[in-house]
């Protein structure tokens, strides 16, 4: 469903009226397209404190944005060397003069270091960067985003920096992303998943179909899994993408074994997207509504992940990306079942990711969508729908492609140093963000 308020505020009368009434003034976001694959403008590289990254400049030079000093499309502030309150002041000094000059739909990325448990001053001021970036994200307006990346090795963060400094991250803001060390592989701009097989559960429609389409654009052979009742839709999506459909109830006890049998040559990317809602307040929620949501959204993820890892179906260098939700991170009235299931997904990712990497060479991350414009949200009553759209720093709903692009970044062969992360795709929702 079209966002008519967004369209109205883009007109002169709409801008005047919304300004006079103190209403949100969302900016049309610039998203990736073949015609506009990168931001337009320069990249401004700033430093606060003594940088801990000796190899950052070559990485930034490969983001597709030329380094410059004026009218930036993006700003990267290297604050990895901030270790006390005095050098924290340099964060203000660096960004204060330039924030207004960042282009509409521009990017501000702050680079921080992991917290040092043996240095409480460093831990305090590096933690302060989280509050700073999230607050700045709620101030900047005009479709700009602000994110914090914690890293120790710039080359390992290249895929993350390329994503955050591109139109593909249009609806990702206010996030703190940790990048470790590890094999990242060569970076391929065009078809990084060529020769790889990706399976998307719940891929017949909505966000799942957008994920399947984006992974196919990245070169993957896509297997679209959905319930047998949606087989026709799954085949249409798979046919359009040159992939194949797999009609299967993901809650079946042997779903993992059946997937493994269908993919005897192995799997490189596993996307856990299948999910349902059965909303009702707890006092009015029968057991069936609880159990059905937990079975689809959480138990099936646990069972199939365990089965595919145990059978070695996921090849070394593989990627698992699960779909959580901000409802699982912040809670939502009428969704105790859904919130529990999606919080469980986040817990699974954080607990299993280190072992999956150590034991199988596979990374595991999650995306947590906020209000995304789908057929499901189009059916939400008008006033609730409008509240969902406006209650984020970008004052609008996201699109399925926003979740898909974030998923594709985590599935990228060069994203091997990103593991155990839960990344919200919510426009920096005011709930729990």
Residues designated as active site: 338
Question: Is residue 132 within 8 Å of 10, Cβ to Cβ?
Answer: no
Question: Is residue 130 within 8 Å of 114, Cβ to Cβ?
Answer: no
Question: Is residue 265 within 8 Å of 201, Cβ to Cβ?
Answer: no
What is the DSSP secondary structure assignment for residue 53, as one 8-state letter? -
The β-bridge partners of 107 are 74, 145
CA distance 73 to 106: 5
Instruction: Tell which phi-psi region holds residue 428, choosing left (phi > 0), alpha (psi between -120 and 50) or beta.
Output: left
CA distance 247 to 232: 9
Residue 60 CA from chain centroid, whole number: 21
Question: Who contacts 336 (Cβ-Cβ below 8 Å, separation ≥6)?
Answer: 281, 282, 285, 290
How many residues make up the chain in this entry?
433
Q: Which residue has the tokens 């997904």?
A: 345
Residue 175 CA from chain centroid, whole number: 9
Sheet with strand 42-49: strands edge to edge: 42-49, 72-81, 107-112, 145-150, 176-178
- Start-to-end CA distance of the chain, whole Å, equals 25
CA distance 16 to 12: 6
By C-alpha distance, which of 69, 245, 180 is closest to 421?
Answer: 180
Helical spans, DSSP H, in 67-205: 85-95, 120-137, 158-164
Write out the two tokens for 242.
Answer: 């040159």
What is the DSSP secondary structure assignment for residue 412, as one 8-state letter? S
Other Cβ atoms closer than 10 A to 150 = 20
Question: Is residue 351 within 8 Å of 183, Cβ to Cβ?
Answer: no
């Amino acid at each position: 469903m079209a966002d008519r308020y967004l369209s109205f505020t883009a007109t002169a009368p709409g801008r005047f009226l919304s300004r006079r009434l103190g209403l949100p003034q969302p900016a049309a976001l610039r998203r990736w397209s073949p015609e506009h694959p990168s931001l337009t403008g320069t990249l401004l590289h700033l430093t606060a404190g003594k940088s801990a990254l000796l190899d950052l400049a070559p990485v930034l030079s490969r983001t597709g944005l030329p380094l410059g000093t004026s009218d930036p499309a993006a700003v990267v502030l290297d604050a990895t060397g901030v270790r006390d309150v005095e050098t924290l002041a340099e964060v203000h000094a660096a960004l204060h003069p330039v924030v207004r000059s960042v282009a509409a739909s521009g990017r501000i990325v702050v680079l921080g270091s992991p917290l040092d448990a043996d240095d409480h001053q460093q831990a305090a001021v590096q933690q302060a960067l989280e509050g700073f970036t999230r607050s700045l994200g709620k101030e900047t307006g005009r479709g700009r985003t602000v994110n914090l990346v914690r890293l120790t090795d710039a080359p390992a963060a290249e895929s993350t920096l390329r994503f955050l400094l591109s139109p593909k991250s249009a609806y990702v803001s206010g996030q703190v992303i940790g990048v470790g060390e590890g094999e990242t592989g060569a970076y391929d701009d065009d078809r990084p998943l060529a020769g790889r097989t990706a399976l998307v559960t719940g891929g017949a429609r909505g966000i799942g179909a957008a994920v399947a389409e984006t992974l196919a654009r990245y070169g993957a052979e896509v297997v679209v899994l959905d319930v047998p009742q949606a087989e026709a839709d799954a085949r249409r999506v798979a046919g359009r993408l040159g992939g194949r459909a797999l009609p299967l109830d993901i809650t079946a006890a042997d779903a993992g074994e059946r997937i493994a049998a269908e993919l005897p040559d192995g799997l490189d990317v596993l996307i856990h997207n299948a999910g349902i809602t059965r909303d009702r307040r707890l006092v009015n929620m029968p057991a069936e509504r609880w159990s059905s949501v937990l079975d689809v959204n959480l138990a099936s993820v646990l069972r199939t992940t365990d089965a595919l890892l145990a059978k070695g179906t996921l090849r070394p260098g593989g990627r698992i990306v699960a779909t959580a939700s901000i409802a699982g991170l912040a809670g939502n009235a009428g969704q105790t079942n859904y919130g529990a299931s999606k919080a469980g997904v986040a817990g699974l990712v954080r607990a299993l990711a280190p072992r999956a990497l150590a034991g199988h060479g596979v990374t595991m991350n999650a995306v947590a969508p906020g209000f995304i414009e789908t057929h499901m949200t189009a059916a939400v009553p008008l006033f609730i729908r409008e509240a969902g759209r406006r209650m984020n720093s970008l004052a609008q709903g996201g699109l399925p492609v926003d979740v898909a692009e974030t998923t594709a970044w985590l599935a990228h062969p060069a994203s091997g140093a990103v593991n155990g992360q839960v990344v919200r795709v919510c426009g920096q929702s005011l709930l729990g963000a």
